[in-house]
């Protein structure tokens, strides 16, 4: 009997040890899986060119060794900020090519709550090699509370260099993301020796990179034309025009030919004309070659509010909005503009309601309709700019606001709203010029003086 009990105890103790060992292995496996999952999530969606696809099927992908040429961080919040940054002070030479890059941030904000929150973010990455810029758009992604630090946001490969963007940090208020920080890096593959053929471009040899292209790419011509269009819209801002035209000339490269050369000649003619004009004086008509640009004030087409058949419906809509009955208020406003399509106050209120609900496309259309029938309504022009800004079309909104602000000369309000819009769009050069003009013409209004201080802090 004692012998039987001894054998039983040996088997029992052995079974317990096996069970304990199995549990320990299972626990260790779970930790390893969780660690692997976390590592995968922190490197979400790497660039296809960053992984070695030569491994056998089923084997773990490995990153191709890379050389980090440049890194940057950029914080994004609802406060006005530049939408485009050029991270490097001067270009680099990578395998004989002069390389520079810039990032345009494409943001969509939700503004109907107590705290404005970031809804979507995307990027337009522009890499310039030997003066020839190539642009690649990274589609917008939804900004979620579940996002983690280190998460891959997007990137693009340009020949021998790549740009990669990651989430560095984010700030939450309740369920909303109110700000985040993007970390980016410019990289190139390491050579077999483990080094990269990279150096900085000095001021002396910046224009003499061996092997520089003599022909400008189609994308460079397109970018130059965009800068020219922006400059043409800034008829009352000489400094901003010169800055934009200089960038347009740079986009065409150092040795433009063919169509690019013709465009470069036009740009040089425009710059020559601007540089020869007395400071502070901008003509209402500018002639370049055979081109003539005239500023003609659009005649205001206003329906009398008092006599309009839409007035009673509009008043009823205002009562509904006062008690927060937005659905009925919007329905009444639509009835009002159907009754009288020229009744601009209803279009304006439709735009304001759409803007407050982050319906930027609808807001833009409504404000545009209001301005068609009352072209000097500054509130509608400001609303139109904001709708364009949050929809990623700042320059379109600025152009409309510029047109309207030029019609308001008796007070500084039009110019102040334009200066504020420049600040919000990140055009600090234009904002400073506008503030100085306001201060000189309207006896230094405090709002313009305060904005000038903020602008100069941004450009230190």
Say what the pLDDT of residue 343 is: 92
Say what the pLDDT of residue 15 is: 55
- Mean pLDDT calculated for residue range 207-220: 46
Per-residue pLDDT band for 228 (boundaries 50, 70, 90) equals: confident
Which sequence spans correspond to the domains of the chain?
62-200, 219-282
Asked whether residue 204 carries a pLDDT value surpassing 60, the answer given is no
Say what the pLDDT of residue 259 is: 82
Q: What is the pLDDT of residues 402-428, one digit of tens each?
A: 999 988 888 889 999 999 999 888 888
What is the 3 state secondary structure string of the chain? Answer: CHHHHHHHHHHHHHHHHHHHHHHHHHHHHHHHHHHHHHHHHCCCCCCHHHEECCCCCCCCCEECCEEEEEEEEEEEECCCCCCEECCCCCCEEECCEEEEEEEEEEEEEECCCCCCEEEEEEEEEEEEECCEEEEEEEEEEECCCCCCCCCEEEEEEECCEEEEEEEEEEEEECCEEEEEEEEEEEEEECCCCCCCCEEECCCCCCCCCCCCCCCCCHHHHHHHHHHHHHHHHCCCCHHHHHHHHHHHHHHCCCCCCCHHHHHHHHHHHHHHHHHHCCCCCCCCEEEECCEEEECCCCCCCCCCCCCCCCHHHHHHHHHHHHCCCHHHHHHHHHHHHHHCCCCHHHHHHHHHHHHHCCCHHHHHHHHHHHHHHCCCCHHHHHHHHHHHHHCCCHHHHHHHHHHHHCCCCCCCHHHHHHHHHHHHHCCHHHHHHHHHHHHHHCCCCHHHHHHHHHHHHHCC
Say what the pLDDT of residue 79 is: 67
Lowest mean pLDDT among 235-244, 250-259, 285-294, 325-334: 285-294
**Higher-confidence residue: 64 or 323?**
323
**Higher-confidence residue: 240 or 11?**
240
Per-residue pLDDT band for 382 (boundaries 50, 70, 90) equals: very high
- Mean pLDDT calculated for residue range 60-77: 72
Identity of the highest mean pLDDT range in 240-254, 276-290, 437-451: 437-451
Say what the pLDDT of residue 194 is: 40
Q: What is the pLDDT of residues 422-438, one digit of tens each?
A: 988 888 888 988 999 89
Mean pLDDT over each residue of the chain, to the nearest integer: 74
Q: What is the pLDDT of residues 322-370, one digit of tens each?
A: 888 888 999 999 999 898 989 999 999 999 988 888 788 889 999 999 9
**Cα atoms found within 13 Å of the Cα of residue 361, Cβ hemisphere only:** 0
């Amino acid at each position: 009997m004692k012998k039987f009990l001894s054998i039983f105890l040996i088997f029992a103790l052995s079974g317990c040890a096996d069970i304990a060992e199995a549990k320990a292995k299972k626990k260790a496996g779970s930790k390893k899986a969780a660690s692997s999952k976390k590592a995968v999530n922190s490197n979400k969606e790497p660039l296809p060119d960053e992984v070695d696809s030569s491994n056998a099927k089923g084997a773990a992908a490995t990153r191709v060794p890379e050389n980090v040429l440049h890194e940057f961080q950029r914080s994004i919040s609802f406060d006005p900020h530049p939408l485009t940054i050029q991270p490097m002070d001067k270009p680099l030479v990578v395998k004989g090519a002069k390389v520079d890059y810039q990032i345009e941030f494409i943001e969509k904000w939700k503004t109907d709550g107590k705290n404005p929150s970031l809804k979507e973010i995307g990027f337009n990455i522009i890499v310039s090699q030997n003066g020839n810029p190539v642009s690649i758009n990274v589609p917008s992604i939804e900004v979620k509370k579940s996002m983690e630090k280190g998460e891959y946001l997007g990137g693009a490969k340009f020949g021998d260099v790549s740009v990669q963007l990651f989430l560095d940090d984010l700030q939450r208020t309740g369920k909303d993301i109110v700000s985040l920080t993007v970390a980016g890096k410019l990289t190139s593959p390491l050579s077999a020796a483990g080094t990269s053929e990279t150096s900085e471009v000095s001021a002396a040899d910046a224009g003499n990179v061996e092997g520089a292209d003599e022909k400008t790419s189609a994308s460079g011509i397109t970018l130059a034309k965009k800068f020219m269009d922006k400059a043409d819209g800034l008829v009352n801002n000489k400094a901003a025009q010169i800055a934009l035209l200089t960038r347009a000339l740079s986009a065409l490269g150092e040795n433009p030919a063919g169509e690019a050369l013709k465009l470069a000649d036009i740009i040089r003619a425009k710059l020559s004309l601007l540089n020869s004009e007395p400071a502070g004086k901008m003509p209402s008509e500018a002639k370049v070659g055979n081109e003539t640009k005239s500023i003609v004030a659009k005649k205001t087409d206003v329906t009398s509010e008092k006599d309009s058949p839409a007035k009673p419906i509009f008043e009823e809509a205002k009562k509904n909005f006062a008690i927060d009955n937005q659905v009925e208020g919007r329905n009444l406003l639509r009835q009002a503009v159907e009754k009288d399509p020229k009744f601009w106050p209803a279009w304006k209120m439709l735009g304001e309601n759409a803007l407050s609900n982050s319906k930027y496309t609808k807001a833009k259309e409504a404000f545009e309709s209001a301005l068609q029938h009352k072209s000097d309504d500054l509130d509608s022009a400001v609303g139109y700019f904001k709708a364009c800004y949050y929809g990623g079309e700042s320059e379109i909104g600025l152009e409309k606001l510029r047109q309207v602000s030029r019609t308001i000369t008796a007070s500084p309000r039009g110019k102040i709203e334009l200066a504020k819009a420049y600040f919000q769009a990140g055009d600090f050069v234009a904002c400073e010029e506008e503030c100085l003009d306001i201060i000189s013409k309207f006896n230094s209004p405090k709002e313009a003086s305060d904005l000038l201080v903020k602008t100069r802090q941004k450009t230190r």
